[in-house]
Each structure stands twice: as structure tokens, then as C-alpha cells.
Structure 1
């Protein structure tokens, strides 16, 4: 397992918000949903994405934007078009005055807009909850990353465009996996491009020594690794590994290993059936007490406290039962009246 695959392996899309937007100018939307990560692909026409801090990019057919939350931003036909739509947390959409627009502009299954024969068609996929393992990935991304159609050959976009309007058995799972594939393809292209400030864990993977060590850490966190054992596996001295690892990754090997283990633990603890002892064994801690001590030292709470909070956010009881979300007006991806993005 490589660095990028490892970071994406835990937090996969699960009932992600997916929508096809069909819009004819003038149109403009203010996005206030505060989602951790959103992918926008332009199928036809063009769109401008402008962050509140001032950065803006024009997207044309085949271009894909990755927007990192929770900051607000605007998507519009032109930079100076005034917002007509506000997207709130829970994907609730209104006019700037507060009038609900979901049903008024519904155009079919997962389709929304102001014109069925629109000039611009966009596909939007939103990861609405950040998994713990994805934290390193989110921190490595800029607020706005744009991948141009000429820079990547991605057959997922037309496939997603076809599948997003279907309402068949298992369709939600199909769309979740397609969104994951699209995100991975775009991230791979983004980090590989010249001039991109790729994170240390991505650059390090290309190094024959550090890449080998990263694979050991990612694939076998339960092993009792030391700098000496990692160095021996890589065929270098302890001093050489420590120096090279810190130069490329930005922190010592053991600090990186600890952060990875605790991130994995945080993600595994969100599974209702998991016990602290079982998670401790999977991530390289001898017992529940050792994991609890490290977890509380680094994250400021016990594993049980973290698990309880995470399951409450997901609407899942400690016994694994799922509760109804309290977010009024939340639209589901299969709802024909889903709001726009």
C-alpha cells in the first residue's frame, strides 16, 4: 500500500452528496456547507470558483476542482454575477432572503438547476464528514486545486455523469465508489505535477529508502518498529535513516509512526463493534492501557471519549444502532429535489 492509497483507505465516501447541476446564465451560488472536501467536475460549458479569500479559477469542460473546507466560496457563470442561491450545512439551499429552492428547481434524479437544456453542466461530489485518517491528506491540499482536462485522462467523469442520474438498486454504493475513483485520479495527477508543493509523505514514497520504510509503516503498523529495525529492513544505518527521513518527511520516523498509528486508531474506533483492546492490537500498542495513554497525550481525550463523540456525530448509538439525523431539511443523494451545488 502506498502513501496516497493508505490515506484514502479509511475514509471512503459513504452516502456522499452527489448532484448534477444544469445551469444557464446568469447564475451564482454561495457555498456555506462547510464540508471538508468537495469535488466539482465540469461536463459542459464553464464555471468560476472563487474563494472568499480572493483566489479564483475558471473551469471548462473536463476540468476538475478539489475544494477543501470548511471555508465558504462561490461558484458562478462569471466572477461578477451576484449570488442568487445559498447552500447551507446539510445541503439545504435557499435564496439570499431565505426562501427554499429545493423543489422549485428540481429537474430529476440527483439533478437540479434552472434549465433542462443548460449551457453548463457540473457534477458535484461532497465528502460531508472528515475521517480521521484523511486529516493528513486534507492538510496537504491547498484550499483550491484545479486539474485541467489536458493534464489527466480520466474516464471516470463521463461514467459518473451517466450513473449519477440512475435510481437503481445499489446505486448509492456505485456512486460512492465512482466518487472515490475520481478523487484518487485527480489527487494523483495534482501531486505528480511539476511545481506542486506535494506533502513530504508523497515525495518520500518516491525515494527508494524512505519509500520502503513508509510502506512498512503503512502496511504493518502493528509491528514493534524501532528506528534500528526500520533501518535494517531498508539496508541503511540508523543515523542515515533518521536524517533522510526527517529531511524528506519533515519529522523523525518514530513521530511519524506514532501519528499514523493514532490516526488509524481514531478511525477504527468509529466502528461501533470495535473495542479499545482490539484496536490497540491492530495499531501496534500492547494493550488498551498503552493506547489510551498515548491517545490522551496526543489528542487530549481517551479513546472511549473519542469514539462516543464520533458515533454521535454520525448518528450512531454505542450499540451500533443508527439514529435519525437532527438536521432539518437535509437532502439525500437519491432525492430528486436535492439542492444545488
Structure 2
């Protein structure tokens, strides 16, 4: 497993918020749901984006934006259109999100237009797909920390049929459709992240740029393939065919930290993701990421994240579903 494959193994949407927005101008929607990560794809027409971490810009068909929370963002037909709709956080027992007019009152213009479609006109001048990961554990700490607040990929910068496939599937209302849509959202996110990292741009993480280094690249792949192995710098150097001093110096220069510090971070990131699976014990997690005992993992985990593995697991456990299922769509604020 190369480092990018390890990073992209994280997304696991579970009943993600998925919606097609179909609107005619003038329109302006501010999303303030505080979700860890959202993906917005333009299917038809154009949309003006204003978001923290990026300059205002216009998006066209096939363009995709990745927006990391908790910062709000706004899509509109024009930079001059005032906000008309505000989408807030989801309710405690539903994937639905609260939606209201900009002044907090009820919406008069937008409506439910069919299966997972919302707006003013089913054939609106602008049609967007919005996919939201409501829990950070669904994406993985590694993706969230590797991405800037906003990433915009123009249709010319990457080629993927997944936007069209998701646009077709979002209309369907069949058994198991929620799982199909979750997996399509995961694939679209993975494709977008991979395309962004592949661009010749300085904001790609150091460990990603290091994959092409003849010394550091092989060492990174070994650490990612065998995180549980009791690595030492000497062992890693022998496996990559260079001296210990050469590996230590080159690794620190290219990645920005020593090999064993990088390995510790990788192990604990893996542990944080594994702990979201309730059926996996802390002992099993410790063994899989290279710690001899759960106590050793707990001490390292608490130093890095400030909480114990059990506290991390409880903080990210899904809430019990004690309310009836509600369709994943914006709901008016009472």
C-alpha cells in the first residue's frame, strides 16, 4: 500500500446527506451545517462559490469543490445576489438538515421537487449535487488534515464519469439505494482527492511529493505496507538499500520529520480510524498498528490526541436511531 492508497482507504459514508439542488436565478444558498467535509459538483449551468481558504470563483459543468468544515460556504448565481437560503446543521436523530430563509423565516420559493431533489425548478438553470459527510470518522482524520479548507477542481483538470453516474442514481428510490449512493460519493471523493494531489502544485503534502524520491519513496511504501512491524531506522535503511545516515537525513529533508516520528503518526492515524469500528477491540487495534499492548497504544494515543482510545471511540460512536427515518433533504425550520 502506497501512502496515497492508505489515505484514500478512509472514506466510508454511512447514510450521507445527498441532494440535487435545481434552481433558477436569482439564487444564493449559504451552507452553515458545520459538517466535516462536503463535496459539491456542478451538473448544469454555473455557480459562484464563496468559501474560506479560496478566492471567490465561478464553477461550471463538471467542476467539483471539496469544502472542509466547520467553515460555512455560499453558492449563488452571481456574486451580487444576496443570500436567500441558509442550510443549518442536521437534527440529532436524522440526516435531514434545517433550512430557512436568510432572515430565519419560512421558505416561500424553494420546495421539494422529487426524490432527493430540492429547489425552485426540476429543470433549473443551475443543477448541483451536494454530498455531505456528517461525521469526521466517516472520512478519516488523514484526509481532513491533508486537505485545505477549500479545493476546487475544474472539469479540465480531471476526468471522471462519476458525477454523471451519481446524478443518475440520485433519482432512484430502490432497496439498498442509500448504500449505492454512499459508495458512489466515496468514489467521487477519492477520485477528486487523487486528482488534486496529482497536480504540480506546492500545496500537496510533503509525504505525497516524497513518493517519487528514490530513497524516501520505497521507505514510505514499506512503512505503509507493514505498520505493525517493529521498524528501526537501520532496518528500514537495509530494506531500501541505503545507509542509515542517508535514509535519516533524506527522509527528514523530504518529508519534514524523522522516519520513526512519521511511523508513529501513521500508526496512530490508523488506530483512530480503526477505533470507529465498534466490533474491533482496542487490543486488536494495538496489535494491528504495531503496539505490544493496549496500554502502550493508549499512552501514545493520548499524547497525540489528548484522549484515550476508549474516549475517542465513545466520542465518535453513532447515536442510536430512536426516531423514524427521515428523508435526507433540507427541512424547514419550525
TM-score by length of 1: 0.89
In structure 1, the partner of 2:50 is: 50
- Aligned mate of 1:250, from 256, 270, 282: 256
The separation in 2 between residues aligned to 1:293 and 1:183, in whole angstroms, is: 33
Residue 62 of structure 2 corresponds to residue 62 of structure 1:
yes
In structure 2, the partner of 1:319 is: none
The separation in 2 between residues aligned to 1:58 and 1:217, in whole angstroms, is: 41
Number of paired residues? 326
TM-score by length of 2: 0.91
1:113-143 per-position Cα deviation (integer Å, ceiling 9, x unaligned): 1112210111111111112873332232222
Residue 306 of structure 2 corresponds to residue 308 of structure 1:
no
**What does 1:288-307 align with in structure 2 at a 5 Å threshold?**
288-307=294-313
The separation in 2 between residues aligned to 1:187 and 1:161, in whole angstroms, is: 19
Residue 291 of structure 2 corresponds to residue 285 of structure 1:
yes
State the secondary structure of the residue aligned to 2:272. Answer: helix
The separation in 2 between residues aligned to 1:332 and 1:207, in whole angstroms, is: 48
Residue 276 of structure 2 corresponds to residue 270 of structure 1:
yes
Worse overlay, 9-18 or 100-109: 100-109
The separation in 2 between residues aligned to 1:135 and 1:286, in whole angstroms, is: 23
The separation in 1 between residues aligned to 2:299 and 2:165, in whole angstroms, is: 47
In structure 1, the partner of 2:76 is: 76
1:127-171 per-position Cα deviation (integer Å, ceiling 9, x unaligned): 111128733322322222111111211111111110011111111
Change (3 A) 1:324 1:244: farther
The answer to whether the Cα contact below 8 Å between 1:93 and 1:102 also exists between their aligned partners in 2 is: no
Change (3 A) 1:15 1:100: farther
1:35-79 per-position Cα deviation (integer Å, ceiling 9, x unaligned): 111111111100011025772110011111111111112110000
Segments of 5+ residues of structure 2 without an aligned counterpart are 91-96
The answer to whether the Cα contact below 8 Å between 1:102 and 1:338 also exists between their aligned partners in 2 is: no
Segments of 5+ residues of structure 1 without an aligned counterpart are 316-321
What is the CA RMSD across the aligned residues, in angstroms? 2.3
In structure 1, the partner of 2:132 is: 126
State the secondary structure of the residue aligned to 1:70. Answer: coil
